[in-house]
Structure 1
C-alpha cells in the first residue's frame, strides 16, 4: 500500500472522531436552549466524550496487539454508531452526556488503531511524514465539520447532526472492510494477559522519555480542546457571531494547526525531530502568553484572538505529530499498548483542563486564553526537561 493511499484511508477513519466533536460545536448554544441546560452542562458533553475516549484506548491498544488491527475497529465503530443514534434521540442533557460518553468509548478505536498501523508500516521521519499526511486528511474536520453542522441546523435541528455522524460511522465500517489491509502479522501479535500488560505498562510508565513526550503533546492537545469547548460560546456570546460565522472563525484557527503539521516531516528530516519540538514549544508558549497579556490589557478583539490562536496553533501543529512518533518509536513490539496509553493520558489531560476551564468560564475570551497559555507553559517546561533527559541518555 502506497503512503498516499495509506494516509487517505487512515485519515478518513481518524477524521470520524474529530467530526463527532467539531460538527456539533455550532449547535452547542442551541442544545443548551432546547434541553434547558446551562453552559457548564453542555460543556460536560465534551468532557464526557474526551474522558471516555481516553480511558477506552487502554482497552483497544492491547486488543489490537493480540488480534490484529481490524477486529477492534469493527467493534468500536459499531459502538460509536449505536451511541450516536442515542445522542440523536436524547430527551435530556443527562442522556446526551451519557450517550456522548458511550460514543467516546467506541470512537477511541479510531485514534488507537490508525496510529498503531502507522507504526507497523514506518518509523522515524517516514512515520512522521505519514502521520502528517494523515493529519492533512483529518484537517477537513475543523474546516468543514462546523460548516456542515451549521448547514444541518438550518435545514433541521441539532439532532440531525448526530444522524449524519451515524451515517459516517456506517461508511467507516465499509471502508475498514474493503480498503484497509491487516498490518500486524500473526507472528508479531502479543497475547493479552495480566503479565504482558503489567510488563508493558511498567516499561512505558518507567520510561521518562515516553511519558515526557506524551504529556508535551498532551498539554498541547488539551489547549486545543479548551478552545473547542469554549469557542462557540465566546464567539457567539461575546462577539455575536452566527453559527456560520463561528464555523468560519473556527476554521481559520484550525488551519494554522494542520497547515504547519505538514512541515513536521520535512523539518524533522532536515534539522532533527528534537530540535523541531524544542523551537515549536517555545513558539507555542510565546504566542499563547503574548495573547493572554494582550487580553489582560483589554485589547483581545476578535481579529486579535483569531490571529494569536492561528500562530499558537501553527506551533502546536509541529508538536503533536512529532511527539507521537518519537514516543512510539522505541516501543514497536508494544505499539498498540503504547499508542493506547499515550492517547489515554492525553485525552484525560484534555478532559481535566476543560473541566478546570468550566469553573472559571464566564462566557468571555479571557478565561479560555488563560487556560491555553497555562497549557503552553506546561508543555514548554516538559519539553525542556524531556529533551535534557534525552541528551543525558544519548551522551
Structure 2
C-alpha cells in the first residue's frame, strides 16, 4: 500500500490527535465535573493528571513493543483499550472511579502518541522528517483548536458525560483509519533483532546518551509549560476571569493555533538554517516572552488580553522548538526509533505531570501560579538548550538537514 507524503501526515496526525482530543474536549468540563460529582478542584485535576501519568508510563512499553511486533498491532490494542475506558468514564458514578478510568484511558491513548513518531523515523530523516513532523502537527492541531469548542458545546447542551461518548466515536474512527489507510512501516526482517533484552539494552544506550537526553528535556520543559496551562487555564479563565466555557475554548484555541501555525515553518526554516540553529533561536524567543509575561504579572498587570497576547507569541516560538528537538533526538537512533520515541515521550509526560502537580499545589484561584509554572518551564528549557547545543551549530545533524 503506497501512501503520499501528505496522506501519511494526515493519517498519523489524526491517530496522534485522539489522545489529546480526550484532554482538550475535557478541559471546559472540569468545573462542571466538580459540581456534578461533588469533588474538589484538586480531585478533578487528579483525573487529568492520572491521564498524563498513564501517557508517560505506557509509552515506555509501547515503543519497544512496536520495534518487536511492528507499528500497527500496538496501535490496534491502544485504540481498543482507549475506547473501552472512554465508555467507562461516560458512566463513572464518582470522582474516584473517574480517576481510575482516566488512567486506563491514558494507557490506551499513549499508543497513538509514541508509534506515529517512530513511523516518521521509519520513513524519513533530517529535513524530510522535520517537514513530515510539522505536517503531522498541522493535522494534530485539530484537537487543541476545535476540541475545546466542541467540548464546550456538548457540555452546555448535553452535559459533561457526552464528551466521553464523543471520544469513543473518535477511537472507533481511528481503528477504521488504521485498518484502511496506514501501511506497516517496520517490516518483519527489521524486527528480528528486537526483543525484551534488546529493548532494555537500548534504554541503557539512550539513558547514557547525554545529547539525546538534553534534546528530550528541551522539548519536555517546553511541553510542560503547555501542560501547566492545560491543568489550570479552565479554572483561571472561567472562575477567575468569568469567561463562559465557549469563550474559554476560543481563548485556548488561539494559543494552540499559534503553536501549530508557526510549527508549519519548521521544514522551510530548518532547510535554510539547520535544525540546531533553529532550536537555539526559537528557545530564546520562547523563554524571553514567557519570562516577560511573569514579570508583567508580578508588576500587577493581570489583564486577560495582555496574558493571552503574550502567551500567543511565546507558544508560537514553542511551535518551532518541539518538532525540531524531536527530530534531532531520534536522528541517530533509527534502529531503535520506537524505543527512543517511547523514552522521549515518557520523560516528557512525566516531567509535564510533575509541573502540573506543582502548579496545582500552588493554585490560589489567580493566574499567577499558572504563569509562574509556564515561565519556570521555559527558563529550564532554555538552560538545557544552552548546555546541550553548545558547539553544535554546525553539527552533522544541522548539515544533514
Q: Does the 8 Å CA contact 1:65/1:191 hold for their aligned counterparts?
A: no
CA distance in 2, matches of 1:190, 1:344: 25
CA distance in 2, matches of 1:380, 1:393: 19
Hey, what does 1:253 align to over in structure 2? 255
Deviations along 1:188-240, one digit per CA (max 9) or x if unpaired, are 11555443122201110111111000000000001001101100000011110
**Pair 1:153–1:393, CA change in 2 (3 A):** closer
Hey, what does 1:348 align to over in structure 2? 350
TM-score norm. by structure 1 comes to 0.98
Hey, what does 2:213 align to over in structure 1? 211
- Whether 1:380 and 2:385 are equivalent positions in the alignment is no
Unpaired runs of at least 5, structure 1: none
Any idea what SS the aligned residue of 2:300 has? coil
Hey, what does 2:227 align to over in structure 1? 225
Task: Return 182-191 or 380-389, whichever deviates more.
Answer: 182-191
Q: Does the 8 Å CA contact 1:209/1:390 hold for their aligned counterparts?
A: no
Hey, what does 2:364 align to over in structure 1? 362
Q: Does the 8 Å CA contact 1:291/1:300 hold for their aligned counterparts?
A: no
- Whether 1:137 and 2:139 are equivalent positions in the alignment is yes
Deviations along 1:163-203, one digit per CA (max 9) or x if unpaired, are 01001101100100011111111111155544312220111
Task: Return 385-394 or 89-98, whichever deviates more.
Answer: 385-394
The 5 A counterparts of 1:160-309 are 160-309=162-311
| Deviation, structure 1 residue 393 | 8.0
Give the 4+ runs in structure 1 shifted more than 6 A. 391-394
User: Alignment partner for residue 155 of structure 1, among 154, 157, 178?
Assistant: 157
User: Alignment partner for residue 114 of structure 1, among 88, 113, 116?
Assistant: 116
Deviations along 1:5-34, one digit per CA (max 9) or x if unpaired, are 001111111110110100011111000101
Q: Does the 8 Å CA contact 1:65/1:190 hold for their aligned counterparts?
A: no
User: Alignment partner for residue 78 of structure 2, among 76, 79, 86?
Assistant: 76
Unpaired runs of at least 5, structure 2: 397-401
Q: Does the 8 Å CA contact 2:12/2:116 hold for their aligned counterparts?
A: yes
Any idea what SS the aligned residue of 1:388 has? coil
Hey, what does 1:35 align to over in structure 2? 37
CA RMSD of aligned residues (A): 1.2
| Deviation, structure 1 residue 155 | 2.0
| Deviation, structure 1 residue 249 | 0.5
Any idea what SS the aligned residue of 2:50 has? helix
The 5 A counterparts of 1:35-74 are 35-74=37-76
TM-score norm. by structure 2 comes to 0.96
| Deviation, structure 1 residue 392 | 10
Any idea what SS the aligned residue of 1:259 has? helix
Hey, what does 1:312 align to over in structure 2? 314
| Deviation, structure 1 residue 382 | 0.2
Any idea what SS the aligned residue of 1:158 has? coil
CA distance in 2, matches of 1:228, 1:45: 13
CA distance in 1, matches of 2:76, 2:10: 19
Any idea what SS the aligned residue of 2:333 has? helix
Task: Return 185-194 or 316-325, whichever deviates more.
Answer: 185-194
Equivalences, count: 394
